[in-house]
Amino acid sequence: MHYSNVPDTRVRVLRDETPRPDGDFVLYWMTAARRLSWNFALDRAVEWARELDKPLVIFEPLRAGYRWASERHHQSIIDGMGDKAGRLEGACVTYYPYVEPEPGAATGLLAALAGHAACVIADDSPTFFLPRLLEAGRKAVLCRMEAVDGVGMLPLSVPGRSFSAAYHFRRYLHKELPAHLGPRPSPDPLAAVALRSLEGLPAEVIARWPAARLLEGGSGRSSLDGLASIPIDHTVGAVPWIGGETEARRRLQSFLETDLARYAEDRNHPDLSVVSALSPALHYGHISAHEIFHGLTEQEGWTPARITLPHNGRRKGWWGMSESAEGFIDQLVTWRELGHGYCHAQPDFRSYDTLPEWAVQTLEDHAGDPRPWLYSLEQFEAAATHDEIWNAAQRQLVEQGVIHNYLRMLWGKKILEWSAHPREALDTMVVLNNRYAIDGRDPNSWSGIMWVMGRFDRGWPERAVFGKVRSMSSDSTRRKVRIDRYLGRWGSQPELV
C-alpha cells in the first residue's frame, strides 16, 4: 500500500496499475503546476520515486498548436523553464523541458517516455485544453497514472458541485476549509531527498524530441533558440512581466512588504497600484495559492485558532486577520476558487447558456435595445472607441498583457454595452482577454467574463441594454477611482484606426 502525505482528496488515479518494477524512472508530466516548490504533484512524484527507489524525471512540455498560442505566452513559460533549469543544476532529478517546433510535433512523445516509466504523475487542472490533454495522456500511458490537484486551498474534488455566488461559496468555505488548511505541499520537496540518478533520457526519445535549448536572456529572462520560427502568433509579443518561480516569489515578497497594508483601502485605484499582480504567476503555475497564503499568514502572525464563529459567509472578520489580509484572501481564495470549482464541476462553463436563467432572460429581453455606441471586434481590438478610459485599458492590455482589476470590470461591461448582441460581446471578451492577457485562458478568465454577463452576481435595477445585469460607467469610474496618472500613461495616445 502506498503511503502518502498528499491528501487523497487531491489525487485522481487515472490508471490503477501497480507501478512497473522494471520502469527506469518515475515521470512527472508537468503541464499546469509549473514550479518546483509548494507543488503537491511534485511531492507525489518524489514520494513514488523514493518508495520505488527510482530516479525522477520532470518532463515539462510546451505545445505550439493551441488557440491563442503566441510569443507572449511562450515567453512566459520559457522564462519559467529557464528558471527551473537553473534551480535544478546539480539536483538529484532530471529536468526535460520540451518546446514543440511545430503543431503536432510532440505527438507520441508522452507515450514514448512513459514506456520507460514505472508510473506517471500528472497535473490536474480544470480548464483550457488541459482536461482534454490529460484524457489523451491517460489513453497514451500504459502504466500507473495519477493526476494531482494543486490548484487551490480547497481540493477541487471536495464540494462535488458548483456555487452560484461568492456569498454561498464563502459560507461553504467557512465550514469546510479549516479541515483542509493543515496538509500543505512542501516548500522545497527536493531539498532533503537523495534520489537515484538517471544515466540519461532514453536515446530514441531525445533523438526525436530534443530538449529545449534555453539561453540566458538577461535580467531573469530566458530565451529559446528557435522561438522565432515556431508558427505561433508573433504579433502578440512578449511583455515586461517575467515568468518563473524566482520572479513570482520576488513579487510576492514585495507585495507583502510594501502593498498589502493598503490593499483594503486602495486596491481599486489604478494610480496607486497596491494589488499583488500575481495572477499571471498563478495562471502559469509559477506560484501556488499555498505559498501566497503561507506568506500572508506568517506576516500576520496568524494561526487557525484566530478563526471566529459563526460560519455565516461574512466577508470581514471571520479569519481574524487585518482587514487588508482578509480582503486579499477573499480574492485569492473565495473568488479564485469559486471560478476554478465552477469550471471543474461544469465542463460547459464557456457557454452563454450556462449563465443564470435570470441573466439570460434579461439580456435577451434587452437584446433589441438601441446601443449608444456599436463597435466590432476589430475596433475594440484597436482601442478605437469614443471612450478615453476604455481605450486606455485596452492599450495597456495589448502592450503589457494586463489591466488593473477595477478597469477590467469596466472594460468588460462596456464591451457588453457596445456590442450588437450579448453573445457577440462574450466572443469579443474571450478573444481579446485570451489573446492578450498574460493571465488569460484561465478559470478566472471565465469567472471575470461571465461575471460581466451576470454569473456569480445578483439582479440590479433594470436599465437599457444591460437589463437587470449590473452596469458600470466611465464617468462614475472617473469620479470614484484615482486614474489621472494611468490616463497620462495610456489614455492620450492617438487612436489607431
Ligand X SMILES: Cc1cc2nc3c(=O)[nH]c(=O)nc-3n(C[C@H](O)[C@H](O)[C@H](O)COP(=O)(O)OP(=O)(O)OC[C@H]3O[C@@H](n4cnc5c(N)ncnc54)[C@H](O)[C@@H]3O)c2cc1C
**44 Cβ neighbours under 8 A, 6+ residues apart:** 4, 6, 11, 121, 146, 148
Q: Does residue 153 bind ligand X (CB under 6 A)?
A: no
Site pattern 441..460 for ligand X (x: CB under 6 A): -x-xx-xxx-xx--------
Beta carbon of residue 444, minimum distance to ligand X (angstroms, whole number): 3
DSSP state letter for 201: S
Q: How far apart are the first and last CA of the chain?
A: 65
Q: Given the complex with ligand X, which of 111 and 130 has the nearer CB atom?
A: 130
Q: Does residue 150 bind ligand X (CB under 6 A)?
A: no
Instruction: Pick the binder of ligand X from 48, 163, 284, 335 (CB under 6 A).
Output: 335
Instruction: Pick the binder of ligand X from 114, 409, 416, 426 (CB under 6 A).
Output: 409
One-letter amino acid at 43 equals D
Torsions phi, psi of 85, nearest 5? -60, -40
Site pattern 387..406 for ligand X (x: CB under 6 A): ------------------x-
Q: Can you tell me whether residue 483 is helix, strand or coil?
A: coil
Q: In what order do the strands lie in the sheet with 117-124?
A: 11-15, 144-149, 117-124, 25-29, 56-62, 94-99
Instruction: Pick the binder of ligand X from 10, 408, 414, 455 (CB under 6 A).
Output: 408
Beta carbon of residue 76, minimum distance to ligand X (angstroms, whole number): 13
Instruction: Pick the binder of ligand X from 113, 156, 214, 275 (CB under 6 A).
Output: 275
Q: Given the complex with ligand X, which of 63 and 283 has the nearer CB atom?
A: 283
Distance in angstroms (rounded) separating the CA atoms of residues 176 and 109: 40
Instruction: Pick the binder of ligand X from 336, 344, 414, 455 (CB under 6 A).
Output: 336
Burial category of 372 from C-beta neighbours within 10 Å (exposed 0-12, middle 13-18, buried 19 and up): exposed
Burial annotation 410-420 (CB, 10 A radius, 16+ → b, else e): bbbbbbbbbbe
DSSP state letter for 255: I
Q: Given the complex with ligand X, which of 126 and 412 has the nearer CB atom?
A: 412
Contact 55, 201 (CB under 8 A): no
Q: Does residue 279 bind ligand X (CB under 6 A)?
A: yes
Q: Can you tell me whether residue 148 is helix, strand or coil?
A: strand
Beta carbon of residue 219, minimum distance to ligand X (angstroms, whole number): 21
Using CB atoms, what's the residue nearest to ligand X? 448
Q: Does residue 376 bind ligand X (CB under 6 A)?
A: no
Number of amino acids touching ligand X (CB under 6 A): 30
- Of 414-443, binders to ligand X (CB under 6 A) are 429, 433, 437, 439-440, 442
Distance in angstroms (rounded) separating the CA atoms of residues 35 and 431: 28
Contact 115, 216 (CB under 8 A): no
Instruction: Pick the binder of ligand X from 31, 37, 276, 419 (CB under 6 A).
Output: 276
Q: Can you tell me whether residue 426 is helix, strand or coil?
A: helix
Q: Does residue 278 bind ligand X (CB under 6 A)?
A: yes
Beta carbon of residue 318, minimum distance to ligand X (angstroms, whole number): 17
Instruction: Pick the binder of ligand X from 41, 277, 359, 393 (CB under 6 A).
Output: 277
Q: Which residue, chain included where needed, has cell 531539498? A: 191
Distance in angstroms (rounded) separating the CA atoms of residues 373 and 386: 8
Q: Given the complex with ligand X, which of 62 and 260 has the nearer CB atom?
A: 260
Q: Given the complex with ligand X, which of 75 and 447 has the nearer CB atom?
A: 447
Stretch that binds ligand X, among 196-204, 270-278, 362-370, 371-379 (CB under 6 A): 270-278
H-assigned helices in 18-165: 40-52, 71-87, 109-114, 130-140
Q: Does residue 58 bind ligand X (CB under 6 A)?
A: no
Q: Tell which residue, 112, 140, 122, has the closest CA to residue 202.
A: 112
Neighbours of 197 (CB within 10 A): 12
Q: Does residue 243 bind ligand X (CB under 6 A)?
A: no
Q: Does residue 163 bind ligand X (CB under 6 A)?
A: no
Beta carbon of residue 153, minimum distance to ligand X (angstroms, whole number): 12
- Which residues of the chain form contacts with ligand X (CB under 6 A)? 267, 275-279, 282-283, 331-332, 335-336, 339, 405, 408-409, 412, 429, 433, 437, 439-440, 442, 444-445, 447-449, 451-452
